[in-house]
Amino acid sequence: MRFLSDEDRAELSGAEHGLPRTPLPLQMVATDEYAPQPQSASQREVQARVLDMGERLSRHQGLSRRRFFQTSAGMAAAFVALNDVYGPVFSASTAEAATPDMADARAKALSGQLIMDMHTHFLRDDTRLTGFVRMREAVGRQGWNPALKAEEQTLEDLKFGNYVKEIFLDSDTKAALISSAPSDIPEDWFLTNAQMAQARDRVNGEAGGRRLFTHAIFRPGAPGWLDELDAALELRPDSLKGYTVGDNTHKATSRYPWRMDDEAVTYRGYEKMAAADRKIVCVHKGLFSAEAEAQFPHLRPFADVRDVGQAAKDWPDLTFVIYHAGYRLGDPAAALAQFEKTGRLEWVSDLAEIPETYGVTNVYADLGQVFAQTMIAQPKVCAALMGILIKGLGADHVCWGTDAVWTGAPQWQIEGLRRLEIPEDMRKRHGFAELGPADGPVKSAIFGGNNARLYGASPEEIAAWGGDALAARKAAYVAQGPRPSLRRWGYVRSASA
């Protein structure tokens, strides 16, 4: 991936080795799609508090600090530290962190909650650290290790087993959707459409039910894209996904950016999707900071959400799910200052206003990186984002997606939403509703109800997940005592850099 220059990458380190193994990441972890912010002073304070609590409470509980951080009590301790530094945004107490039985009882009571994470990726291989090895496999031959280029590769070489462990065993996720990202360079796709379908069939065949869903990537305007779309639709993907900036991996040379409301080009693809009864269209938006705009100004008009409303209005039978909720990303302190001054957040507010502006009901927001990054960088921005999206789109149009496994097993993000509440002063000033209990109607809709409705998962099918082979594997794993790695997979930047 080539968003970051060689100079940029020289200032970065691999998150799996550069971060302490705490229950949640304590600074921004990024793929090469965008530049990570350095750890802030507040995040350093949170880290110090987390490590100190871990040291004290682990001794009291007769555990190593690392083992303590793998427990429910350790997770609670991390949120206590966040509250201590940023203010009481998360439901967590020192008593929970200090009392394993209390923490375990809470975790067990919520473990059966319907979580459908419809935004996940395979894990890059560790060999990327030694040569920045591509984290995609394109045609079944370009491997993660350059020494294996001539050999046939399999999904196992893509750390597929680790993906299953972190998504389905180390978190409460019940169903997931495997995604990808395209490139103008064929070997630089994350996964081909056929490989995603292969992963889905493998997991579902072993589980005995529909636990893994999949995208198929479409690329309006690229050579042969309509034939490519026909082939993708034959795989019966559960939804389609596109990147309006075109080649998100090689932004500098991206040749085929496109607009969602392009009648001459993109609408021809929508016609094929509708005819094939594949009516969920997921679109990557946002994650395009001011720094990215300065570096790639030609892509700026395609990165925001200005083209969403008209497309939704013209295609009422399609459902448009905007990934990362269009969040622009950037300095979290600047985002908080912007919100406190204007009540708005760039591109997220624009997205939330589309239903009222265009009179449509077929626009949804997927959280993706927006929740993960703001939760650890500035929780009040995270709360504001949730308030804006729910107020504008409705709680029934905000969908759970974590962009895992780049930031590790998604349990810490699940716990973040379960514990998050919009501060009362923010609710009063901006007319936001309460998020409510971890298993209340708002959070339950976001976690699973909305995705279940979109992807046609019936109550009977969901109930069957509790008795399938994957559920049995999870039960055996839990009985042995879970050992989440607490690793993150991507890049971090030092404060000095």
Q: What is d(CA 222, CA 182) in angstroms, rounded to the nearest whole number?
A: 11
Nearest to 90 by CA among 360, 438, 330: 438
Alpha-helical regions (H) of 61-170: 65-69, 72-86, 94-98, 100-110, 128-131, 160-164
- SS3 label, residue 14: strand
- Residue pair 287/369 in contact (Cβ under 8 Å)? The answer is yes
Which top CATH class is 116-474?
alpha beta
pLDDT at 217: 97
Question: Containing H/E element for 473?
Answer: helix 469-480
pLDDT at 41: 87
The per-type count for the chain, helices as H runs and strands as E runs, is 26, 10
Question: Whose structure tokens read 């109800």?
Answer: 449
- Angle ∠(492,245,488) on CA atoms, nearest 5: 20
pLDDT at 402: 94
pLDDT at 32: 57
Nearest to 213 by CA among 318, 279, 120, 322: 120
Digit-coded pLDDT (tens) for 152-174? 434 443 467 788 888 999 999 99
Structure tokens at 316: 């009422």
State how far the alpha carbon of 450 is from the alpha carbons of 68, 95, 100, 437, 454, in Å.
34, 34, 33, 17, 6
Q: What is d(CA 121, CA 235) in angstroms, rounded to the nearest whole number?
A: 19
**Torsion-angle region of 329 (φ positive above 0: left; ψ -120 to 50: alpha; else: beta):** left
pLDDT at 150: 42
Q: What is d(CA 351, CA 305) in angstroms, rounded to the nearest whole number?
A: 6
Q: Distance between alpha carbon 165 and the CA centroid of its chain, in Å?
A: 17
pLDDT at 459: 97
Q: What is d(CA 168, CA 48) in angstroms, rounded to the nearest whole number?
A: 30
Strand 12-14 to 491-493 pairing = antiparallel
pLDDT at 406: 76
The domains of the chain are located at 6-110+489-493, 116-474
Q: What is d(CA 8, CA 183) in angstroms, rounded to the nearest whole number?
A: 21
Question: Whose structure tokens read 């550069």?
Answer: 18
Q: Peptide bond preceding 363: is omega within 30 degrees of 0, i.e. cis?
A: no
Tell me whether residue 333 is exposed, middle or buried, using C-beta atoms within 10 angstroms of its C-beta: 0 to 12, 13 to 18, 19 or more: middle
DSSP calls for 87-104: -S-B---HHHHH-HHHHH
- SS3 label, residue 26: coil
Nearest to 213 by CA among 136, 119, 124: 119
- Residue pair 492/15 in contact (Cβ under 8 Å)? The answer is yes
pLDDT digit string (tens) for the chain, length 497 residues: 344 555 555 566 555 555 667 888 776 666 656 666 777 888 889 889 999 999 999 999 999 998 898 899 999 999 999 999 999 999 999 999 999 999 999 999 999 999 999 999 874 333 232 222 333 233 233 333 333 344 443 444 346 778 888 899 999 999 999 999 898 988 777 788 998 998 999 999 999 999 999 999 999 999 999 999 999 999 999 999 999 999 988 899 999 999 999 999 999 999 999 999 999 999 999 999 998 999 999 999 999 999 999 999 999 999 999 999 999 988 889 999 999 999 999 999 999 999 999 999 999 999 998 898 899 889 999 999 999 999 999 999 999 999 988 778 899 999 999 999 999 999 999 999 999 999 999 999 999 999 999 999 999 999 999 999 999 999 999 998 877 766 655 555 655 55
pLDDT at 383: 98
pLDDT at 185: 87
- Residue pair 260/302 in contact (Cβ under 8 Å)? The answer is no
pLDDT at 409: 86
Alpha-carbon Rg for the chain, nearest whole angstrom, is: 21
Digit-coded pLDDT (tens) for 345-366? 999 999 999 999 999 999 999 9
